[in-house]
Chain A
Amino acid sequence: MSADFLKDIFKQLDKDGSGFISADELQEALSNGSWSAFNPETIRLMIGMFDRDKRGHVSYENFGALWNYVTDWQKCFRNYDLDNSNSIDRQELQTALTSFGYKLSAELLDTLIKKFDRIGAGHVLFDDFIQCCIVLQTLTTAFKAHDKDMKGVITIDYEQFLDMVFSLTI
């Protein structure tokens, strides 16, 4: 992606000309393929990843990485949306997660669909799919840090547990 092209996108997104992309500005720019607004929680998670000074916005310096990240997710989403329905159904989600290396039970898969399907349609849209994957990634990283012998079982105390589960909430 050329620097000029990126600069153009940045200028278009930065509606108030502050030199930063805020959560609202990013939300306005992204589409989930439906008429509903882009998942604010996904926006928050993504801004958080590329927000170096922890101010809730992204500077031009880090914008390229953020934009690449979004387009990578778009490619990934298209890959697993086999029927081109603009959404990932249960079967497609299972295929996607299996290819990411997860072996999840049917119950957990149901929990995921229920949790991340914001419109209650039984499948997940692009923005919800990203949220689902980031959440899984975050939790997996937290779990692995304790799973020294890689047995898939860990022993943790109360605060360690809270630390881990709170890594994504709030």
Chain B
Amino acid sequence: MSYGYNPYAQPGGAPPPGAFPPQQQQQQSPAYQWFAMVDRDRSGKINAEELQAALINGRGEKFSSHACKLMISMFDNDASGSIDVYEFEKLYNYINQWLQVFKTYDQDSSGHIEEGELTQAFTQMGFRFTPEFINFLVKKSDPNTHKEVSVDQFIVLCVQIQRFTEAFRQRDTQQNGTITIGFEDFLSVAIGCSY
């Protein structure tokens, strides 16, 4: 996505000349251009595999299929497993919001940020977490070295945190930061909002 510099938008080669006539205003927006490159089979829809083939972080690593499926599912209203260009534009804008934040802290454009930077990124987004919780997230995200969070993992984290926070807010009727929740409701939220 428009992560700005090298890391992300490397959709394996430009479209053939003339394939996307530039006369239409809407196709000149970055999201439309991006969609055209990602939609390799020209089906007018992109699925998680096409998205994954197009996304590379600064170390040349592919985005996880988990992250790609999550991103598609967020805007895949008819649950077909793929999204059209209109849905893609929403996804594009949504993801870009998180990426702007990530980019600020990813000084060497490696596509990875460390624990301290993750803390700052969350603060910038309006979340205040204890160091223990941030540490827990880093460990979960980076099971091997427990040190850093990749950009695709960061997107997954942001999406999940936002969903769960929304679910929490709905139940925090007195707005005192605590909820009283029954077993079944708890299961529904935990299973329904996770991906």
Which one of B184, B187, B194 contacts A169 once the chains associate, using CB atoms below 8 Å?
Answer: B194
Which one of A55, A143, A169 contacts B183 once the chains associate, using CB atoms below 8 Å?
Answer: A143
* Pairwise interchain contact A115-B179, C-beta atoms closer than 8 A: no
* Pairwise interchain contact A154-B130, C-beta atoms closer than 8 A: no
**Is A162 engaged at the interface, CB distance under 8 Å to the other chain?**
yes
* Pairwise interchain contact B130-A170, C-beta atoms closer than 8 A: no
With A and B bound together, what is the CA distance between A161 and B194 in angstroms? 13
**Is B68 engaged at the interface, CB distance under 8 Å to the other chain?**
no
- Give the A-B pair count, Cβ closer than 8 A: 90
Q: Decide: A170 near B188, CB < 8 A? Known: A154-B181, A163-B136.
A: no
A76: chain B residues within 8 A (beta carbon): none
Q: Decide: A159 near B184, CB < 8 A? Known: A168-B194, A169-B160.
A: no
Q: How far is the CB of B113 from chain A (nearest CB, A)?
A: 16
A156: chain B residues within 8 A (beta carbon): 178-179, 181
With A and B bound together, what is the CA distance between A56 and B161 in angstroms? 25
* Pairwise interchain contact A161-B179, C-beta atoms closer than 8 A: yes
**Is B141 engaged at the interface, CB distance under 8 Å to the other chain?**
yes
**Which of A6-14, A64-72, A86-94, A104-112 forms contacts with chain B?**
A104-112
* Pairwise interchain contact A139-B157, C-beta atoms closer than 8 A: no
Q: Decide: A143 near B186, CB < 8 A? Known: A163-B133, A166-B136.
A: yes
Q: A158-B165, A165-B164 are in contact. List 16 more A-B contacts (CB 8 A).
A: A105-B184, A107-B188, A111-B188, A115-B191, A136-B187, A139-B187, A143-B186, A154-B180, A156-B178, A159-B130, A165-B193, A166-B140, A166-B164, A170-B137, A170-B140, A170-B160
Interface set of A (CB-CB < 8 Å, partner B): 54-56, 104-105, 107-108, 111-112, 115, 135-136, 139-140, 143, 147, 152-159, 161-166, 168-170
